Structure 1
């Protein structure tokens, strides 16, 4: 009986991992939102967020999880952002240190600016967990659309992220 339970649990886990690995989200095309939230930590994320702003698909971009030592001028130079775009449209968040605190930092910024829709930009393998954390943290009246940056993750990256996703979902189900 116990062996059957563990075999079933392992099978469910394995099929869940397989589903996660083969169904990574894709970049979003053309849907406008009030703002774009970019989570630091992966190549192509900031460039994608800036592209969304440049295309007029979002009014402002909030970059969550910026290293506290990075100044706006350094950020602008690193990512070739004009002074005008930095002043009007790009805000840097320095408080977040992980995906959960990214969601909290972004939620505060969204509420302060009274935005009702946001495009979430992160790497494809990170999107499920990031989206889960944002759904848990943001008020229900803020619409979130996912805009994944495509990547070529290793099996180890997928395995680690799948386990982090399971842990995040399990912790959300626990009473506070």
Structure 2
């Protein structure tokens, strides 16, 4: 129990570090893992700023077509058509990692800006590192909360999300250790 409690503290420190230290670098490509709070708009902005050549939106619902996505993101046709790729096969973080690895290899990318929520970044990086090889991963974490005072219900909801994600991270860590026969990197 003590090990899990200490691990949760390390996890919270990692989440905060990623949220405070968004990469300012330019990469070959940008990948955004859908499914959480306010991830898509910052990824589109990074593309507009030419911080990556192309953007992969991973985990898009199969019922979402390009026109709906363009309209929802308020992205111009020219930028969308030239520089946005859609992955509708990924159903979870493992699928995001597999799809991203294939996409990066097909483009011969050596570096990626990874856009996802702060709480999701540690597990996302672990899954991506298992699949992607020598591609440099540059975290661009989106804070999973607004600023200002919180109600007790909002605080409870935040801790529920963090505890659930920590449980998933522990499961991912154990799965990786058993399948790979080595302890995965926790960066």
- CA drift at 1:29: 4.4
Corresponding residue for residue 99 of structure 1 = 93
Superposition CA RMSD, Å = 1.3
SS in 2 for 1:41: coil
After TM superposition, the score normalised by the length of structure 2 is: 0.85
> Which residue, 158, 161, 186 being the options, matches 1:157?
161
Structure 2 match to 1:6 = none
Residue of structure 1 equivalent to 2:118: 124
- Give CA deviations for 1:108-151 in whole Å, capped at 9, x if unaligned: 111111111101110000000000000001022x1111110012
What residue in structure 1 maps to residue 170 of structure 2? 166
CA contact (8 A) 2:14 2:122 kept: no
Q: Report whether the alignment pairs 1:33 with 2:44.
A: no
Runs (4+) of structure 1 moved beyond 2 Å? none
Separation (CA, whole Å) in 1 of partners of 2:13 and 2:171: 20
Superposed, 1:1-176 pairs within 5 Å as: 10-24=1-15, 25-26=18-19, 28-140=22-134, 142-152=135-145, 154-175=158-179
How many residues in Structure 1 have an aligned counterpart in Structure 2?
166
The superposition leaves residues 72-96 of structure 1 with CA deviations (integer Å, 9 ceiling, x where unpaired) of 1110000101000111111110100
Shift in Å, 1:22 = 3.5
Structure 1 Cα separation of the partners of residues 164 and 133 of structure 2: 29
Unaligned runs of 5+ in 2: 146-156, 181-187
Q: Distance in 2 between matches of 1:71 and 1:164?
A: 30
State which drifts further: 159-168 or 15-24: 15-24
Greater C-alpha radius of gyration? 1
Query: TM-score when scaled to structure 1?
Result: 0.90
Alpha-carbon distance in 2 for matches of 1:107, 1:113: 10
How far 1:51 moved relative to its partner? 0.8
Cα distance in 2 for partners of 1:97, 1:79 equals 21
Gapped regions of structure 1 (runs ≥ 5): 1-9
